[in-house]
Copies of this chain bind each other. A is one copy, B any other.
Amino acid sequence: MALLVTGSIGIDTVTSPHGSVDSVLGGSAVYFSFAAAHYCPVRLVAVVGEDFPTEFRSTLETRGIDLTGLETRAGSKTFRWAGKYVGDMNEAETVGVELNVLAEAGPKVPAGIADSDTVFLANTHPGLQRELLSQVTSPKLTVMDTMNLWIENERDSLIETIGMVTGVIINDAESRQLTGKMNLIEAGEAVLGMGPKFVMIKKGEHGALLVTPEGPVAIPAFPTKRVCDPTGAGDSFAGGTLGYLTAEGKHDPATLARAMVRGTVAASFTIEDFSLGRVKDLARGEIDARVDKFLSMLRFE
């Protein structure tokens, strides 16, 4: 069972109350892949520019991520993002963006990995999400993320894409913006009304909410004092969740809830350091131990 992810690869510059890093590896597809790769084979589909450092490519290869779908585009530069976290660190303030290669044509899904069982469409233009999805032959589980930009400017296209996937993983503010519902269960149900079988609403330090026709399941975040850099937490959540679901080979509500625990734990490691600092060499045993600790915390009997 293999998991294909389409999304961004970025060179990030991040400042938080705990320090700052300059030109480090980032991007939704990267964080997702590192979290998912503990559970199943991961195939990354993305585009970078000629300036993409060899060491970043090695970092991905070392984790065993399949880079068949990683296109290095001649004459282009890699996406760059600079952000800053202040206060409760729940949201980044973007201080600089260079779209570069992300403003050009999207990547293609090579034939050799078009047989993937699971597809995660990280945030990008909903039209490109559909185009990428259509290149995967017969996926059993398809999940997408999105962002405020597309909700505002590409609403019809976004709703068309939502209608084609099994699940949506989205943050709380965006679920409210998309549906006009302030109550998150109502927001989740409104998204279900667009077609998907499940919605996971990410609430940052407040955890996550799963909404299916069988009802809501709420989960807290893993409580931690080590919040260095929240960048990639949401993508790591999606990665841990979908890696687990792909390995399990099913996505009924109970399995989705268990998967959300793995997503929560994946995110809890990512935020402990800048960039991939904490997760680069993370062992599966460390993950499983934290899953056990988290489940033990939630045993109130």
Given contacts A182-B89, A261-B300, A300-B298, contact A217 B207 (CB under 8 A): no
Q: In the complex, what distance in Å separates the CA atom of A220 from the CA atom of B203?
A: 11
A224 B185 Cβ-Cβ under 8 A: yes
- Residue in B185, B186, B225, B297 whose beta carbon sits within 8 Å of that of A186 in the complex: B225
Chain B contacts for A217, CB-based, 8 A: 223, 297
Chain B contacts for A206, CB-based, 8 A: 203, 206-207
CB closest chain-B residue, reference A221: B218
Chain B contacts for A221, CB-based, 8 A: 218
Residue A132 CB within 8 A of the other chain: no
Chain B contacts for A176, CB-based, 8 A: 88
Q: In the complex, what distance in Å separates the CA atom of A194 from the CA atom of B273?
A: 30
Q: Count copies of this chain in the complex.
A: 2
Q: In the complex, what distance in Å separates the CA atom of A217 from the CA atom of B207?
A: 13
Residue A219 CB within 8 A of the other chain: yes
Chain B contacts for A298, CB-based, 8 A: 219, 298-300
Q: Nearest Cβ in chain B — how far from A250, in angstroms?
A: 15
A-B contact pairs, 5 of them (CB 8 A): A183-B227, A218-B220, A218-B297, A220-B220, A258-B301
Residue A257 CB within 8 A of the other chain: yes
Q: Report A189-229 CB contacts with B as 1/0, cut-off 8 Å.
A: 00000000000000101110100000011111111110100
